[in-house]
Amino acid sequence: MEGVGEEEMEGVDHLAHERNKSEFDVDAMKIVWAGSPHAFDVSDRISKLVASDPGFRKDNRSTLSRKELFKNTLRKAAYAWKTIVDLRLSEEEAAKLRFYVDEPAFTDLHWGMFIPAIKGQGTEEQQQKWLPLAYKMQIIGCYAQTELGHGSNVQGLETTATFDSQTDEFIIHSPTLTSSKWWPGGLGKVATHAIAYARLIVGGREHGVHGFIVQLRSLEDHSPLLGITVGDIGMKFGNGAYNTMDNGVLQFDHVRIPRNQMLMRVSQVTCEGKYKQSDVPRQLVYGTMVYVRQTIVADASCALSRAVCIATRYSAVRRQFGSQNGGPETQVIDYKTQQSRLFPLLASAYAFRFIGEWLKWLYADVTQRLQANDFSTLPEAHACTAGLKSLTTTATADGIEECRKLCGGHGYLCSSGLPELFAVYVPACTYEGDNTVLLLQVARFLMKTVSQLGSRLSSKKPVGTIAYMTRVEHLMQCRCGVQRGFAELSADLVEAAVAHCQLIVVSKFIEKLQQEIPGKGVKQQLEVLCNIYALFLLHKHQGDFLSTGCITPKHAALANDELRSLYSQVRPNAIALVDAFNYTDHYLGSILGCYDGNVYPKLYEAAWKDPLNESVVPDGYHLYIRPLLKQEIRTARL
Amino acid sequence: MEGVGEEEMEGVDHLAHERNKSEFDVDAMKIVWAGSPHAFDVSDRISKLVASDPGFRKDNRSTLSRKELFKNTLRKAAYAWKTIVDLRLSEEEAAKLRFYVDEPAFTDLHWGMFIPAIKGQGTEEQQQKWLPLAYKMQIIGCYAQTELGHGSNVQGLETTATFDSQTDEFIIHSPTLTSSKWWPGGLGKVATHAIAYARLIVGGREHGVHGFIVQLRSLEDHSPLLGITVGDIGMKFGNGAYNTMDNGVLQFDHVRIPRNQMLMRVSQVTCEGKYKQSDVPRQLVYGTMVYVRQTIVADASCALSRAVCIATRYSAVRRQFGSQNGGPETQVIDYKTQQSRLFPLLASAYAFRFIGEWLKWLYADVTQRLQANDFSTLPEAHACTAGLKSLTTTATADGIEECRKLCGGHGYLCSSGLPELFAVYVPACTYEGDNTVLLLQVARFLMKTVSQLGSRLSSKKPVGTIAYMTRVEHLMQCRCGVQRGFAELSADLVEAAVAHCQLIVVSKFIEKLQQEIPGKGVKQQLEVLCNIYALFLLHKHQGDFLSTGCITPKHAALANDELRSLYSQVRPNAIALVDAFNYTDHYLGSILGCYDGNVYPKLYEAAWKDPLNESVVPDGYHLYIRPLLKQEIRTARL
């Protein structure tokens, strides 16, 4: 299970016959998948570095107790940092290393939320004070926003930050049980500091929710500071999965912090107790959201492609039924039922990769415009990333579980890697915006856009991913009805929002194919995948297309025929298309998905490592099994 | 979290206002759900017995290591047996007790597969010898069918049973690695005996796969017998879940068993080495499959209703957004997006309950007919149970995960009960027939039926759930095309099989409503749920209805409007409709779903019980956190 993939794999390649079948240049496709030769090089180098270092092994995760598991994660995080320091890795390389270590840890929040929050919401002065400490990990930060009673509705948070002008301090307080901070990663056991969000109260007046830098633990002995009650919120879905993370609970009992620990880039409280806005545009916050959600979309393509790689390779190894004259049985990947479930997910993995790439461009574009005080594309970019976050994470979570089922019974074993991948992935459907809530935001944005189409007062023209609306005259007629009953029709509006996002993914995939793409047969393969993705969606949602008269039943049937023919075209290239992800066996973490396809001996060997197999006769035999067999149950001590 | 539900709950009922809203007689609905006053009585009594006995507590499962978890399950299984013996429970009560103990264990296979296999496939003599031992648990049995390389394709099993006429024995042998028995529950660490399936070879000739009773372990010291290699196959999906079960691996090295340990009810091997069929019809095997799959359908309604109960209660407790003038926020159950996802699942839980009830009748009917040598309904009954097993387990697995998502972030905590419920449930989609393979069987049966419709040679008339086919003349025209390309079109045929099964569920729900159902408002509520179930399916599959011209877009829109109005009708009754399942808090195993709705204090309290909270400063601080903070990472020993 552990190893560095093709280079160091010894012995027979059981999938060689599959690799020989492929009709395109896999190495060229690896560059396309990675995004650039440079990105490929960094990924390739760092992933092999991690895979070959026993300090990063992860195949023992599922049998560790919570405490052992957590301690092991602390070790790995420190070891990763040591590696980064020792090897003088660049920021890009360091980020890749954390990615390939592939274990949720407090460092994710430190680097991914704490530091960006200070960068985005802190003043120059605050950045100069806190960032160097954070960059060197002299302090470890977390991001304490959600509470026991509030997640999606950030404006409903109950924690208070009351300004005391006498001491020039804020008093951070948790007035109720439901105001306990709840979920922040890294908070439970590790973080020394938090960005805590609280309702700002100055001179008895409320000014909404703001962020504050609060020290939680002593930097000397790690004990919680006065007024701080902090702990872990307990076990979560899966064996290892997010149980390596100390998602935390936190209560403040009138905790005092200096005034200059409120993040003051956008609004300030003066020492006289005056609340004022700075001239920095509030819209900057949306820029950060675009950034975070764009990374989530990129992660979706990683997680889905990983599951697809496992399921595809195993589908080529596994044989069942169809033996003729004592010959080998049929590879399950040759069954149309398997193909019709697996290949749309393969196509989705590529589609999400390219939409992630495009979102990276979008974020850069938005940032540039913000710097030039151009906010015109921000609402569209915000809606677009919200919708794509929702679409890709839902499809990925469902897709991983579908891949697990496509591996039959053996997919249920932890050694398949898929249960853990699912459990560790699904929170993405909830964090950084619940997927349904996000789709409602998209729907609201779409309705607003539609309602302004006919208005002469509005000079706004739909831009970017909603530009098509100007061309659709009849949308204007929908206006009134929809505005009347938004809440009533919200379930249907969510479906409309999904359709809008699917349109974006399909069109960006098509745009990608209009670029030049080098490598023998590479573009052809991507065209097949693009068509599969589009036609699969059409098939899945044919009701919408039919009921709106966009297609006829005849079209729907033709699309279905075409889909089947596309599956046949993908089939010989399937293994090569997942090889192009360039994942090491270490990163995949799956016996079913190992590069050489030597599944059964590895499964058999792994089984014996379970703690239950340490003794032939199990612990508990004398107390609980023997009394049954010997008919001594009535007198047994249980 | 632990407790016996409403009766012994102290303090405030936070859902009282919801319960007061309901418009029907909940107690009468409880009887409908249970199936009869007697069934309700037994369930109610036994579930409370289990809930009130600390010997059966289960709230600590997720933090136990594999070995502790397994040992605890052994204890519980012994304790359950002691309780059954001490209280002289009836067979019905004993089965209910095992059900409410709610933890997969070796006893499931002993009672659910080993004993039924001997009853169904053993001769009178064999039954007289083995059943008394098994009933008293003097031996513990498992069911060793699947192998590392073979699951669905039973005829492809590789284990051999070669008759040796010299010694009047069979030699059971695993000729390859892939022939290792793999997955059988109870095999790994507990079972003393197995029904092992193997290819029968007599005088050099193969006679297909047969069952054999093989002793695995010494009854004195539990050590594996000569030639037996046996162990556990390792960790599976989820924290507790099926890790309480010792799914096993088993290799036979020329293990000899007496000839009379082949199960010989249907076919025999004589001491002279003659293989012959008895006059017992082979179709009996199908009767057993109908039985097992019928219980799986019944279990589906239990698992789904449990998840729905949790999600519904929590949706009434949880509030988010929509506060006006500082008043309370909106209960999330009032959002249409929540209703449109939750209420179809509530309706499905009831639908599956009634289809399970009907399948029980069908099994009784088939059994009676078999005894009278009437095999006419068997193919239809077999296809019908196969399809319904597939339909209900897929919908239930997806439904549990949907319920988890409907609980937002907190649904990801083990204390919500939902991660474990999902992980422990999903194998139902794979065992006893992979759901896709089963649907292909249904599709094949449907195509065969259709192809015979027009045939003058065939005297067979479609019966039971396929009787509608005789009325559909145009189906006859589809015949040729479909027969030509079954494999090619299999993905579409699977969709057709699903539609057929959905029709069965809907029609049996409607039939149920044609019976007299006592209790104020009970029937009305069921009618609303039935309509939701049917219209939800129509909405979900509107593409099929539209493309075949069964409905117009106008109809589809009307159906959707009606669905929304039905959701509003269910809303005030939602809590009472899940109360009618009569589940104890112990059985639900969910803080989010507790009867009194007092969610937040219980979540807060439960968090502190995590092992990580045993110390304020975590294990590993000095080794792995402090070196970071103190900038001593380069010299740290990691």
For residues A295-326, one letter each, b for 16 or more C-beta atoms within 10 angstroms of the residue's C-beta and e for the rest, the string is bbbbbbbbbbbbbbbbbbbbbbbbbbebeeee
For the residues of B578-623, what is the DSSP string, one character each? HHTT---HHHHT-STT-TT--HHHHHHHHHTTSGGGGSSSPTTIII
Task: Catalogue the E-assigned strands of A192-323.
Answer: 193-202, 205-215, 228-232, 248-252, 255-258, 267-269, 275-277
- The helix/strand/coil state of A177 is coil
Contact call for A237 and B188, based on CB within 8 A: no
Provide mean pLDDT across the span B263-276: 96
Q: What average pLDDT does the structure give for chain A?
A: 93
Nearest to A235 among B55, B436, B610 (CB): B610
Residues sharing a CB contact under 8 Å with residue B299, sequence separation 6 or more, in sequence order = B428
Tokens 């076990």, located at residue? A235
Confidence of residue A37 (pLDDT cuts 50, 70, 90): very high
How open is the CA angle B526-B529-B535, to the nearest 5 degrees? Answer: 140
Query: Which of A150, A154, A140 is CA-nearest to residue A191?
Result: A140
Query: Which of B533, B564, B560, B532 is CA-nearest to residue B546?
Result: B560
Query: Which of B541, B470, B559 is CA-nearest to residue B503?
Result: B541
Has B464 been labeled as part of a binding site? no
Residue A289: predicted pLDDT: 83
**For the CA atoms of A188, A192, A197, A203, what is the dihedral angle to 10 degrees?**
130
C-alpha span between A208 and A156 (Å, rounded): 9
Residue A462: predicted pLDDT: 76
Number of residues in chain A: 638
Residue B168: predicted pLDDT: 98
Confidence of residue A607 (pLDDT cuts 50, 70, 90): very high
Report CA torsion sign: A18, A20, A24, A30. positive
B145 vs A contacts (CB less than 8 Å): none
B415 vs A contacts (CB less than 8 Å): 234-235
Residue type at position B104: P
A146 vs B contacts (CB less than 8 Å): 409
- For the cut 80, the answer to whether the pLDDT of residue B193 exceeds it is yes
Decide if B64 contacts B240 (C-beta within 8 A).
yes
C-alpha span between A53 and A34 (Å, rounded): 23
Confidence of residue A96 (pLDDT cuts 50, 70, 90): very high
How distant is the Cα of A80 from the closest Cα of chain B, in angstroms?
Answer: 10
Contact call for A337 and B547, based on CB within 8 A: no
Main-chain dihedrals φ then ψ at residue A319, nearest 5 degrees = -125, 145
Provide mean pLDDT across the span B19-47: 98
Task: Using a CB–CB cutoff of 8 Å, tell me whether B326 touches chain A.
Answer: no
Residues sharing a CB contact under 8 Å with residue B174, sequence separation 6 or more, in sequence order = B158, B159, B180, B181, B250, B251, B252, B253
The β-bridge partners of A210 are A198
Confidence of residue A62 (pLDDT cuts 50, 70, 90): confident
Share of chain B above pLDDT 70, in %: 95
pLDDT, tens digit, for every residue of B501-538? 999 999 999 999 999 999 999 999 999 999 999 999 99
Confidence of residue B479 (pLDDT cuts 50, 70, 90): very low
Decide if A383 contacts A445 (C-beta within 8 A).
yes
Q: Strand pairing of B193-202 and B141-144?
A: parallel
Number of residues in chain B: 638
- For the cut 60, the answer to whether the pLDDT of residue B484 exceeds it is no
Residue B454 in tokens: 């027009």
Residue B316 in tokens: 């009434």
Q: Which residues of B are catalytic?
A: 432
Residues sharing a CB contact under 8 Å with residue A128, sequence separation 6 or more, in sequence order = none
How open is the CA angle A287-A290-A295, to the nearest 5 degrees? Answer: 135
Confidence of residue A4 (pLDDT cuts 50, 70, 90): very low
pLDDT, tens digit, for every residue of A270-299? 999 999 998 888 777 777 788 899 999 999
Contact call for B239 and A242, based on CB within 8 A: no
Share of chain B above pLDDT 90, in %: 85
Quote the distance between the C-alpha of residue A135 and its chain's center: 24
pLDDT, tens digit, for every residue of A521-550? 999 999 999 999 999 999 999 999 999 999
pLDDT, tens digit, for every residue of A169-208? 999 999 999 999 999 999 999 999 999 999 999 999 999 9
Provide mean pLDDT across the span A145-163: 96
pLDDT, tens digit, for every residue of B153-178? 999 999 999 999 999 999 999 999 99
C-alpha span between B598 and B226 (Å, rounded): 57
C-alpha span between B140 and B111 (Å, rounded): 9
Has A185 been labeled as part of a binding site? yes
- The helix/strand/coil state of B495 is helix
Provide mean pLDDT across the span A207-215: 97
Provide mean pLDDT across the span B534-546: 97
Query: Which of A304, A293, A241, A298 is CA-nearest to residue A102?
Result: A241
How distant is the Cα of A316 from the closest Cα of chain B, in angstroms?
Answer: 13
Contact call for B603 and A148, based on CB within 8 A: yes
Residue B475: predicted pLDDT: 56
Confidence of residue A472 (pLDDT cuts 50, 70, 90): low
- Overall pTM > 0.80: yes
Provide mean pLDDT across the span B614-632: 97
> How many CB atoms lie under 10 A from the CB of residue B157?
21
Nearest to B235 among A239, A614, A620 (CB): A239
- The helix/strand/coil state of A201 is strand
Residue B471: predicted pLDDT: 67
**For the CA atoms of B483, B486, B490, B495, what is the dihedral angle to 10 degrees?**
10
- For the cut 80, the answer to whether the pLDDT of residue A126 exceeds it is yes
pLDDT, tens digit, for every residue of A111-120? 999 999 999 9
Decide if B29 contacts B523 (C-beta within 8 A).
no
Question: In the 3-class helix/strand/coil scheme, how is B113-167 assigned residue by residue?
Answer: HHHHHHHHHCCHHHHHHHHHHHHCCCCCEEEECCECCECCCHHHCCCEEEEECCC
Provide mean pLDDT across the span B2-17: 67
Q: What average pLDDT does the structure give for chain B?
A: 93
Residue B461: predicted pLDDT: 75
Q: Strand pairing of A193-202 and A141-144?
A: parallel
Quote the distance between the C-alpha of residue A407 and its chain's center: 23
Q: Which residue of A has its CA nearest to B394?
A: A405
Task: Using a CB–CB cutoff of 8 Å, tell me whether B514 touches chain A.
Answer: no
pLDDT, tens digit, for every residue of A445-471? 998 888 887 665 556 677 777 777 776
- Which H or E run includes B102? none
Residue A117 in tokens: 């929050």
Q: Strand pairing of B181-182 and B141-144?
A: unpaired
Residue A484: predicted pLDDT: 57
Main-chain dihedrals φ then ψ at residue A169, nearest 5 degrees = -130, 160
Confidence of residue B289 (pLDDT cuts 50, 70, 90): confident
C-alpha span between A244 and A247 (Å, rounded): 9
pLDDT, tens digit, for every residue of A560-577? 999 999 999 999 999 999
Task: Using a CB–CB cutoff of 8 Å, tell me whether A626 touches chain B.
Answer: yes
- The helix/strand/coil state of A182 is strand
Residue A455: predicted pLDDT: 63
Residue B108: predicted pLDDT: 96
Residue B614: predicted pLDDT: 97
- For the cut 90, the answer to whether the pLDDT of residue B574 exceeds it is yes
pLDDT, tens digit, for every residue of A514-527? 999 999 999 999 99
- For the cut 90, the answer to whether the pLDDT of residue B142 exceeds it is yes
Contact call for A629 and B541, based on CB within 8 A: no
**Neighbour-count burial of A503, counting CB atoms closer than 10 A to its CB (0-12 exposed, 13-18 middle, 19+ buried):** middle
Query: Which of A294, A543, A536, A531 is CA-nearest to residue A399?
Result: A536
Residue A114: predicted pLDDT: 97
